[in-house]
Amino acid sequence: MAKLSQRFRELIDDPKATERDVHSFLKAYPMIMIQLFNVSWNYYLAIPEFELGTDFRADFLVLSADSGAWHAVFVELKGPNDRIYLKDGSPSKKLRDAEKQIADWQKFCRARTDEVKHGLAKALKPRCVSAQNLLMGRGGYAHEEIELPGCFFHEQYKIVIGRRSSFADEPSTHALAPGFGYGPQVSTYDRVLDFLVDHEQNRYIRQREDLLCCDDKRSLHS
């Protein structure tokens, strides 16, 4: 079977490849999303198609914890063939759509934080994850901890769209419209490909492709 990087390269090189095609690939290998976008390593989890209320849905949520807070990274995927910038340097319609989507997510998360934390708790409960910060050393579970009023919760936003050939120097950030706080980081699918190529240099990864299918430490250490 071809290497994972080669399969991914063939996917994003296909002129007919869509956002849905890439989402299906990454959903099968959630550790790719964790390695690319994770913030902390006390605990981590990638959740595809995470719902924000009844109106919004993130393509991926990468959730992690450290001793002081829980971190949620919301990821919006666009197609590998989508343009990022127009000839005049302005954002393409696809990128503007992604930015608008994330602006809506930001407003939802900040206006209805308790509802978002409840959704995270529902995702954590079946996994029986130990508390990571506020209850550390006193027992308890993460799904209880994350809903406590004093539990710190931070969110970030990422967009993955297009190819690096869209510009000479891939920027690390792209400003969101004024009034919405920090803008999302924009990455291309070439960054995903770079990650796969780099990790295939590691003999352990090369021998165990199933490692990238794992989405938490229970399965990684089983």
**Side chain identity at 8, as an amino acid letter?**
F
Segment 45-102, tens digit of pLDDT: 999 999 998 899 999 999 999 888 999 999 999 999 999 988 888 889 999 999 999 9
Cβ(213)–Cβ(139) below 8 Å: no
Determine the pLDDT at residue 220: 40
Tell whether the model's pLDDT for residue 109 goes beyond 80: yes
Residue 106 has pLDDT above 90, yes or no: yes
> Chain-wide mean pLDDT for the chain?
84
- pLDDT value at residue 163: 93
pTM: 0.86
Cα dihedral 160, 161, 162, 164 sign:
negative
- What six digits make up the tokens of 90? 């302005």
Q: Looking at residue 176, what is its pLDDT?
A: 35
- State whether CATH 3.40.91 applies to domain 4-220: yes
- The pLDDT of residue 214 is above 70: no
Identify the sign of the CA torsion 185, 190, 193, 195: negative
Residue from 92, 98, 79 nearest 163 by CA: 79
Task: Return the number of other C-beta atoms located less than 10 Å from residue 222's C-beta.
Answer: 6
Q: pLDDT tens across 130-173, in order?
A: 998 877 666 789 999 999 988 998 999 999 999 988 655 555 44
